[in-house]
Amino acid sequence: MRRVPVTALVPGMRIAREVVGGHGEVYLQTGVILTQGYIRKLGELGFASVYVHDALLGDLHVPEAEDIIHDKTRHEAVSRVKTLLQEAAQSQAKAIDPPKELAQTVSDMVNQILNNPSQTLDMYDIRAQNEYLYHHSVNVCALALVIGAQIGLSRRELYELGVGALMHDVGKIKVPAEILDKPGKLSAVEFELVKKHTLYAEELLKNNATAAAIAGMHHERLNGEGYPRGLKEGEIPPLAQIVGIADIFDSLTADRCYRKAYRPDEALEMLLAAGGFWFNFDLVRAFVVNVAAYPVGTMVELNSGEIGVVVSTPKGFPTQPVVRVFVAVDGGWLGDAYDVSTLEKCLFITRVLDEEEISFIKKKILGSRQSTV
Ligand SMILES: [Fe+2]
């Protein structure tokens, strides 16, 4: 399966991962064949991309990527965060205390990550634009826990990190939605208002010192470029830095109202460039080694000239996947695809193919198959 922008969907494609709303309501089940009507509806609901089975990839038996967090737990978490934040906004709450059920969800996420130490993070959530904050909170929580587990935090510390990560953006309930969802560039005044979400969160989370510190400092950067206080190295606790790293990665890899999602390899490159300046480099590395730069299903070209699809990524080598090659160096279709470990063969990926190139290759391959029948 692979993630395809809604604008590139065509009738006949099959949904590979169910499309759900903020309360776990299923809009499209796995296996549903897309029609023009469904594609239009996805756009109206604010989805920018979905996971589909590709006829071409289906023939190559590309394995399904597995989420590090179970679907049920993820849906539960999104739904509970949504309820909590909507109720707090409506009642103009002075304090937010995560309820027992949410604490249980964080414990479940900690357990699932600790039980799966060998899994590379290889699945990126999709979400409707108007549900962004809730999905973002849950993703940042999962990503932060992966870093926390990698650096050996205790179960208790992971739990506290998880709660803080889940609550890191609660201050946004006090920032006008039209600013948060503004499609264009923010004015200086608007940006000042957005920056305040950190201070609002500190206030709202006053009953939980760790969560308040994480939420208040997740936009601070080691070189003093962050906000709200421009703190420097030594003043920003590791847990807040971890959430800052997770926050940047999830924001970059999400489709936003003002830009398309960056690919994971692009987001990882940006994070690596920020390592040492914005964040402790060891924390950035702890994250990067756990994330597949080229998720399963990504079509890539190797420096050998071969073209194929990523089928897995070994733990610890995020940019060195195993690629199922189906276009030879001379551009010819290989009837029998073969797997190449870029790590073992000392090869590297030169580029990721875009939708236009993929559809061009598909036509070529289908043509060559028909001519051999
Ligand atoms: Fe934030």
Q: How far apart are CA 106 and CA 161, in angstroms?
A: 9
The pLDDT of residue 80 is above 50? yes
- Give the pLDDT band (50/70/90) at residue 124: low
| Distance of CA 256 from the midpoint of ligand 1 (Å) | 15
The pLDDT of residue 89 is above 70? yes
Pairing of strands 307-312, 26-28: unpaired
| Distance of CA 348 from the midpoint of ligand 1 (Å) | 35
| Distance of CA 98 from the midpoint of ligand 1 (Å) | 18
Q: How far apart are CA 287 and CA 151, in angstroms?
A: 9
The first and second tokens of residue 180, run together, are 């948060």
Percentage helix, strand, coil for the chain under 3-state DSSP, each rounded to 5? 45, 15, 40
The first and second tokens of residue 5, run together, are 């922008």
Please write the tens of the pLDDT for every residue from 311-352: 888 888 999 999 999 888 887 776 778 899 999 999 999 999
Q: How far apart are CA 350 and CA 113, in angstroms?
A: 32
| Distance of CA 18 from the midpoint of ligand 1 (Å) | 28
Q: Which of 39-48, 105-114, 285-294 has the lowest mean pLDDT?
A: 39-48
| Distance of CA 192 from the midpoint of ligand 1 (Å) | 13
The pLDDT of residue 14 is above 60? yes
| Distance of CA 141 from the midpoint of ligand 1 (Å) | 13
| Distance of CA 361 from the midpoint of ligand 1 (Å) | 41
- pLDDT value of residue 164: 97
- Give the pLDDT band (50/70/90) at residue 297: confident
Percent of the chain whose predicted confidence (pLDDT) is above 90: 55
Report helix, strand or coil for 213.
helix
Mean pLDDT of the chain: 88
The CATH architecture of the domain made up of 71-288 is Orthogonal Bundle (1.10)
| Distance of CA 303 from the midpoint of ligand 1 (Å) | 38
- pLDDT value of residue 277: 93
- pLDDT value of residue 127: 73
Query: What residues does each domain of the chain span?
Result: 2-59, 71-288, 299-372
| Distance of CA 118 from the midpoint of ligand 1 (Å) | 29
**Highest mean predicted confidence (pLDDT) among 15-24, 31-40, 59-68, 236-245:** 236-245
| Distance of CA 330 from the midpoint of ligand 1 (Å) | 48
| Distance of CA 185 from the midpoint of ligand 1 (Å) | 17
The pLDDT of residue 372 is above 70? no
State the alpha helices, DSSP H only, in 91-131. 100-114
Please write the tens of the pLDDT for every residue from 144-197: 999 999 999 999 999 999 999 999 999 999 999 899 888 888 999 999 999 999
The first and second tokens of residue 62, run together, are 């590309």
Q: How far apart are CA 349 and CA 347, in angstroms?
A: 7
As assigned by CATH, the class of the 2-59 domain is: alpha beta
| Distance of CA 156 from the midpoint of ligand 1 (Å) | 24
- pLDDT value of residue 55: 65
- pLDDT value of residue 373: 44
| Distance of CA 338 from the midpoint of ligand 1 (Å) | 44
| Distance of CA 167 from the midpoint of ligand 1 (Å) | 10
- pLDDT value of residue 271: 94
Radius of gyration (C-alpha) of the chain in whole angstroms: 21
- Give the pLDDT band (50/70/90) at residue 61: low
Q: How far apart are CA 263 and CA 265, in angstroms?
A: 6
| Distance of CA 41 from the midpoint of ligand 1 (Å) | 30
Hey, CA dihedral for 274, 171, 184, 357, is it positive or negative? positive
Mean pLDDT, residues 353-362:
83
| Distance of CA 203 from the midpoint of ligand 1 (Å) | 15
| Distance of CA 8 from the midpoint of ligand 1 (Å) | 31
Q: How far apart are CA 55 and CA 34, in angstroms?
A: 13
The pLDDT of residue 8 is above 80? yes
| Distance of CA 219 from the midpoint of ligand 1 (Å) | 6
Please write the tens of the pLDDT for every residue from 255-289: 777 788 898 999 999 999 998 899 999 999 999 99
Any residues with CB less than 8 A from the CB of 134 and at least 6 apart, and which? 22, 78, 79, 81, 82, 85
The pLDDT of residue 105 is above 90? yes
| Distance of CA 117 from the midpoint of ligand 1 (Å) | 28
| Distance of CA 111 from the midpoint of ligand 1 (Å) | 26
| Distance of CA 254 from the midpoint of ligand 1 (Å) | 14
Entry field: residues in the chain: 373
| Distance of CA 198 from the midpoint of ligand 1 (Å) | 7
- H, E, C per residue of 52-91: EECHHHHHCCCCCCCCCCCHHHHHHHHHHHHHHHHHHHHC
Give the residue, 311 or 224, on which the prediction is more confident.
Answer: 224
